[in-house]
Structure 1
Amino acid sequence: MHAAPPVAPPRTPRRPTIEDWLAIPEEKRAELIDGRIVYQGMPGPVHGRTQAGVIALVRGAYDRRPGGAERPGGWWISMEVDMEIGGLGCRPDVLGWRRDKHPTMPEPDRRGIVTAAPDWICEVLSPTTAHVDMGDKRLGYHRAGVAHYWLADPHNGTLTVLRWTPEGYLIALVVGRGDKVHAAPFDAVEIDAGGLFGDDMEEPPPSNEPTAP
């Protein structure tokens, strides 16, 4: 009677690496999240308009050298930068670094990715990937020490502002369309939350006073 041949133990699937992620064509919009490749859908008009709204309301006042009350400056603001932070290979929708910590804007390394953790990240939520932004990405950004994390939800018209604490992110503020707020870290200037979602800003009423010749 012959003994049965030994059964080989099942192979553990190899976890993708940063190099595997970088080898994926950029147009496939992949990220490396918690050891797995996650593909983002192509952004639609609502996503793009929200991303542009965040840039418009933040960059004008802050993406410059430190200045006055209406244009406080002090930040480098960018968008969709390939990064390796907190164990993630990611491409945040909008992000920023404080100039007092980074005299020059962080540059990609020889691989083409930035490793300097931002001081602020804003992700625009979409129905297919919101669970990643609110879950594994949130954990990774916390590990990386990202001090401020915004979640802009254009479908529900809300902005959630998270603040880093040793135990995890703390919800500091939740606002919606129609709210005018001071949201950290950009709390020096009041913002209209509707503007984040590309809502048309109200025009000032026309003046009845005669114009000077």
Structure 2
Amino acid sequence: MHTIPPVAPSRSPRQPTIEDWLAIPEEQRAEFINGRIVYQGMPGPMHGRTQGAIIALVRGAYDRRPGSGDRPGGWWISMEVDMEIAGLGCRPDVLGWRRDKHTTLPEPDRRGIVTVGPDWICEVLSPTTAHIDMGDKRLGYHRAGVAHYWMADPHNGTLAVLRWTAEGYLIELVAGRGDRVRAAPFDAVEIEIDELFGDVSAASSPVLGEEAGQRDAPR
């Protein structure tokens, strides 16, 4: 008589940790979101143009000591900083800290990441990543207490401005091409939405494929 050996119980794959994310080379453009390693594709031209325009508009007026000439100042502005905030491992497109709360620009810790939560984050939406920026990242930034969250969508030519409340982010405004707005926390200077997106129209870019290669690590 032949006996059938017992079947070993299956093991669930180990869940990734923040340490796993830290071990991934920076050039792989990974983020750690809700217990998953998510690989972002390389940004396309529309993404880069919009990110650069936001940096230029905000940094020029605000990235300086308050009361510096005729510009409001009062902020530290940066971009693509590796961060761990509220258990989220992320690299926001553009971000800033208020100088009245932080006398110096926050520095990375011994692991090479910043853990000081920013006061403002702006993500530039892409067809392959918009659902993350509007979903899991939005919830994570709210948990981290990020007071102001912008989402700039170059494909549709819109800017959504959100403000932190205890119940969740409140949409303060959504503006599109042709609009001129004052968007908190940078409402001392009027923003022309066309300046964020330049002369790029939605018809000039495909709905999909601006960024390629996004994938989730196996769970």
Normalised by the length of structure 2, the TM-score is: 0.86
Q: Does 1:20 align with 2:20?
A: yes
Question: Where in structure 2 are the equivalents of 1:188-199 lying within 5 Å?
Answer: 188-199=188-199
Q: Does 1:142 align with 2:142?
A: yes
Name which of structure 1's ranges 60-69 and 166-175 shifts more when overlaid on structure 2.
60-69
In structure 2, the residue matched to 1:180 is: 180
Q: For residues 114 and 68 of structure 1, what CA distance do their matches in structure 2 show?
A: 27
In structure 1, the residue matched to 2:82 is: 82
Q: Deviation of residue 39 (structure 1)?
A: 0.8
In structure 2, the residue matched to 1:168 is: 168
Name which of structure 1's ranges 19-28 and 155-164 shifts more when overlaid on structure 2.
19-28
Q: For residues 87 and 124 of structure 2, what CA distance do their matches in structure 1 show?
A: 21
Deviation track 1:93-150 (CA, whole Å, cap 9, x = no partner) reads: 0000000000000000000000000000000000001100001000100000000000
Q: For residues 128 and 52 of structure 1, what CA distance do their matches in structure 2 show?
A: 20
In structure 1, the residue matched to 2:51 is: 51
Q: Deviation of residue 184 (structure 1)?
A: 0.2
In structure 2, the residue matched to 1:31 is: 31
Query: Residue 141 of structure 2: SS of its match in structure 1?
Result: helix
1:111 partner amino acid: R
Q: For residues 101 and 194 of structure 2, what CA distance do their matches in structure 1 show?
A: 31
Q: Deviation of residue 14 (structure 1)?
A: 1.5
Q: Deviation of residue 2 (structure 1)?
A: 9.3
1:65 partner amino acid: R
Identity of aligned residues (%): 83
Aligned-residue RMSD, C-alpha: 1.8
1:44 partner amino acid: G
Query: Residue 165 of structure 1: SS of its match in structure 2?
Result: coil
In structure 2, the residue matched to 1:123 is: 123
Assess, with a 3 A threshold, how the Cα gap between structure 1 residues 194 and 69 changes in structure 2: closer, same or farther: farther
Q: Which runs of 5+ in 2 are unaligned?
A: 201-219
Q: For residues 69 and 184 of structure 2, what CA distance do their matches in structure 1 show?
A: 15
Deviation track 1:146-203 (CA, whole Å, cap 9, x = no partner) reads: 0000000000000000000111111110001111110000001111111112349xxx
Q: Any conservation in 1 of the 2:18–2:87 contact (CA below 8 Å)?
A: no
Higher relative contact order (CA 8 A, sep 6+): 2
In structure 2, the residue matched to 1:101 is: 101
In structure 1, the residue matched to 2:205 is: none
Query: Residue 162 of structure 1: SS of its match in structure 2?
Result: strand
Q: Deviation of residue 3 (structure 1)?
A: 8.7
1:115 partner amino acid: T
Q: Any conservation in 2 of the 1:159–1:176 contact (CA below 8 Å)?
A: yes
Q: For residues 116 and 59 of structure 1, what CA distance do their matches in structure 2 show?
A: 19
In structure 2, the residue matched to 1:209 is: none
Q: For residues 12 and 171 of structure 2, what CA distance do their matches in structure 1 show?
A: 38
Name which of structure 1's ranges 62-71 and 34-43 shifts more when overlaid on structure 2.
62-71
